[in-house]
Amino acid sequence: MLRGAFTNPAVTDLPLSDRPGPGGWARTAGRTAVLPVYEAAPTYRAAGCDPVIVVGRNYGAGSSRDWAAKAQTLLGVRAVIAESYERIHRSDLIGTGVLPLEFTDGDSASAHDFTDEGHLTFDGLRNLRVGANPVTLHMHHPDREVRSIPLRLRIFSGQEPACLRHGGILPYAVRRALAVG
């Protein structure tokens, strides 16, 4: 499953000019190598970093949605930032504990200088409620001032915040069962 994630030849990691071939490639956390995403992802987990994926419009359309969401979770992805989501894939991401963040109307990844240097932080992820929750992305780059980008996290049911807090529906259900028993 992990080897299949981000292997579509149309997938491109834009900050990488030195990628060896088609599909998803990423630098390792220590920036020592460029590897397929499934090989680079564990280096981020070992370094204590949660990968964030920044994508375009209608993310998740045409994929095996639940499989794709599970693969991202197993790769350690904490959040996906997109212009829009395929409806079921957005729900699958929440069900696996991945934050489906969206650019605000009229904004997109191409309007910002995303790089594979520095790190990202988020404000606004506490006290999530049903509706559009404002979230702010802070881009920390070693050679620039911190840049802030408004995002939103749409929540459609009262159960979705609990899924996200617990890291997905399965950990949520297990914790609820243990608390009752």
pTM of the model: 0.89
Q: Domain extents for the chain?
A: 1-49, 50-180
Q: Could you tell me the fold of the domain covering 50-180?
A: Aconitase; domain 4 (3.20.19)
Which range has the worst mean pLDDT, 26-40, 58-72, 89-103?
58-72
Please name the amino acid found at residue 50.
D
Pairing of β 131-140 and β 147-155: antiparallel
pLDDT digits (tens, 9 = 90+) for 93-123: 999 999 999 999 999 988 988 877 888 999 9
Mean pLDDT value across the chain: 87
pLDDT at 13 over 70: no
Q: At what angle do helices 65-74 and 87-95 cross, to 10 degrees?
A: 40
Alpha-carbon distance 139 to 128, whole Å? 22
